[in-house]
């Protein structure tokens, strides 16, 4: 049984040690600050419980100038991989597994858009100005480029 509820990631409406797992897919990059979410997850998880996070990260200490157009079109936080890992450890979790899947996310997404650009552009232009599609297209190209260079990645983390 699943019940939907609305809450904030930093104040989960659950009792201490009441959950066996917390899964944050394509969402943790929006949690501000991420450290508070991880701390709150520790509170809610029972001993041995799992925390699973899938999120985009930057891999370098000061990558913003290398992100180009993504520095303003990437709408979430630009958490560094090392910060995510240290926050998990600092809050009492043991990192069980980290999988780097950026090459399976960014390149196929960009390739799909490039291959289908004509049809996608047509649909976008029905509702939005051409400038927006151009920004989207250039953002995707940059995303693929910085992924190939190892500046950004997409990770799946499992901790307990």
Per-residue pLDDT averaged across 37-59, rounded? 97
- Please, what is the average pLDDT of the chain? 93
pLDDT of 43 above 80: yes
User: Would you identify the CATH topology of the domain 19-101+149-159?
Assistant: Rossmann fold (3.40.50)
> Long-range pairs for 90-96 at CB < 8 Å and ≥24 separation?
90/35, 91/35, 91/38, 91/39, 91/41, 91/42, 92/42, 93/38, 93/42, 93/51, 93/159, 93/160, 94/159, 94/160, 95/157, 95/158, 95/159, 96/158, 96/159, 96/160
Question: In which band, very low, low, confident or very high, does the pLDDT at 61 lie, cut at 50, 70 and 90?
Answer: low
pLDDT in tens, 69-118: 787 788 788 899 999 999 999 999 999 999 999 999 999 999 999 999 99
Instruction: Give the pLDDT confidence score for residue 64 in this predicted structure.
Output: 64
List the chain domain ranges.
Answer: 19-101+149-159
């Amino acid at each position: 049984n699943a019940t939907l509820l609305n809450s904030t990631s930093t104040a989960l409406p659950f009792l201490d040690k009441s959950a066996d797992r917390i899964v944050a897919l394509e969402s943790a990059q929006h949690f501000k600050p991420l450290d508070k979410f991880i701390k709150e997850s520790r509170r809610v998880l029972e001993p041995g419980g799992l925390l699973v996070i899938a999120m985009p990260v930057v891999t370098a200490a000061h990558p913003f100038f290398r992100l180009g157009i993504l520095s303003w079109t990437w709408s979430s936080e630009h958490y560094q991989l090392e910060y995510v890992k240290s926050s998990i450890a600092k809050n009492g979790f043991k990192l069980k597994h980290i999988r780097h899947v950026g090459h399976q996310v960014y390149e196929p997404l960009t390739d799909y858009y490039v291959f289908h650009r004509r049809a996608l552009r047509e649909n976008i232009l029905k509702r939005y100005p051409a400038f927006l599609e151009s920004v989207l297209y250039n953002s995707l190209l940059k995303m693929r480029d910085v992924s190939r260079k190892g500046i950004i990645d997409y990770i799946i983390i499992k901790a307990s």
